[in-house]
Amino acid sequence: MKTNSIALKILPKLFDVLRVLTLIFTGVALLAATIKFSTSDYLEVTNYIRVDRQPIKTNIVPNSDEVKDINIVANNAAVKASFKRSFFTVFPTYLYLISFGWVLFIQFRTFRDFFYSIKNGTPFDPDNIKRLQIIGYTFLGLTFIEIAKHIVMNITFSHFINDIRFSAYYWSVGLSGVMWAIVTFIIADVFKYGFTLKKENEEFV
């Protein structure tokens, strides 16, 4: 039985638009990164620091000529630095943009298919159970990508810049992603239970 819910009419189209925008923005980001790498020998990177465990320094000297233009951004509790273009700056940048865009694309596409199914009156369907599980895994994937990104940034900055403590706030940010994944997996189990009841009811009738 199809539903006339306004929300269910809007949500599939919204996630379809977000899916397309994800492809566009990922492509633009990759193009911008390519232009940046091809026109400059250095890549400017910003990383967050811990202000509660250390004094803020204004004259930071790197221990390698691979880094230059180090500046503290007091308002954002961050440090900016320009790293020389190399495999270790180019590859992680492309890997992050592609993996983040790909996982986000899958998430939006799966959300779209899920809400289309509910709109068409078939919510308790085995495909929806799989879709919810995929959405849960995409939440975990996005969380892992963000945590991995910040860990790599912290290691890189710490290698070239001495006596600076960098923030580990990404663990708290990652916690929200894990919670969303858990909630999604629980909903998937609810849908699985609903599908089982529906199947038993049809067999009984």
**pTM of the full structure:** 0.83
* High-pLDDT (> 70) share of the chain, %: 83
The set of long-range contacts for 16-19, using a CB threshold of 8 Å and a minimum separation of 24, is 16/108, 16/112, 18/108, 19/105, 19/108, 19/109, 19/112
pLDDT at 204: 59
Q: For 19-23, 24-28, 73-77, which range has the lowest pLDDT when averaged over its residues? A: 73-77
- What mean pLDDT do residues 61-80 have? 71
Residue 43 three-state SS: strand
- What mean pLDDT do residues 157-177 have? 76
pLDDT at 151: 86
The answer to whether 90 touches 37, Cβ cutoff 8 Å, is yes
| Helix, strand, coil percent content, the chain, rounded in steps of 5 | 70, 10, 20
CB neighbours (10 Å) of residue 94? 14
pLDDT at 74: 63
- What mean pLDDT do residues 69-85 have? 75
**3-state SS track over 150-195:** HHHHHHHHHHHCCCCCECCCHHHHHHHHHHHHHHHHHHHHHHHHHH
Q: Over the chain, what is the mean pLDDT? A: 84
Structure-token match 């529906």, residue found = 198
DSSP state of 120: T
pLDDT band at 183 (very low <50, low <70, confident <90, very high): very high
Q: For 46-55, 119-128, 180-189, which range has the lowest pLDDT when averaged over its residues? A: 46-55
Query: Would the pLDDT of 54 be above 60?
Result: no
The two three-digit tokens of residue 156, written as one number: 């890189």
DSSP state of 56: P
Query: Would the pLDDT of 101 be above 80?
Result: yes
Residue 80 three-state SS: strand
The two three-digit tokens of residue 72, written as one number: 């503290």
